Amino acid sequence: MIPTSDVDQYSGQTLVEPHEQYRALRDIGPAVWLKGLTVHAVSRYDDTGRVLRDPDGFRSGGESPSTISITTAIESSPSPAPATPTTDSDT
């Protein structure tokens, strides 16, 4: 089952100081259903990398969130390759 949250990412206080809310979302699980916004939130660095690198497996629209377990999909997808640091001379 996908964990859910009532967190409002667009409330005034969250916009001013979002880190506490981000930390709460990371603590809940790899993917959280935000009831008020009717979207999934993926807030852990490695998990967002997995989602962004797999557009076929993770996309907006289409299937209902109850049809598949995004949490299971994130946990079973391969870890992203480490980022390569760049320097000013690389640009």
User: Which residue spans within the chain are E strands per DSSP?
Assistant: 4-5, 32-34, 39-41
For residue 68, the model assigns a pLDDT of 47
For residue 26, the model assigns a pLDDT of 93
For residue 67, the model assigns a pLDDT of 38
Instruction: State the Rg of the chain over Cα.
Output: 15
What pTM, to 2 d.p., does this model score? 0.62
What are the pLDDT digits (tens) for 2-15? 889 988 888 888 89
pLDDT > 70? residue 70:
no
CA pair distance 29, 88, nearest whole angstrom: 36
Instruction: Please state the domain extents for the chain.
Output: 4-79
Q: Is 76 helix (H, G, I), strand (E, B) or coil?
A: helix
What are the pLDDT digits (tens) for 45-59? 998 998 888 887 777
What are the pLDDT digits (tens) for 12-47? 888 999 899 999 999 998 888 998 888 888 989 998
CA pair distance 52, 47, nearest whole angstrom: 9
For residue 79, the model assigns a pLDDT of 59
Tokens, residue 36: 């008020």
CA torsion 84-88-55-73 (nearest 10°) is 40
Say how many CA atoms lie within 13 Å of 14 toward its Cβ: 11
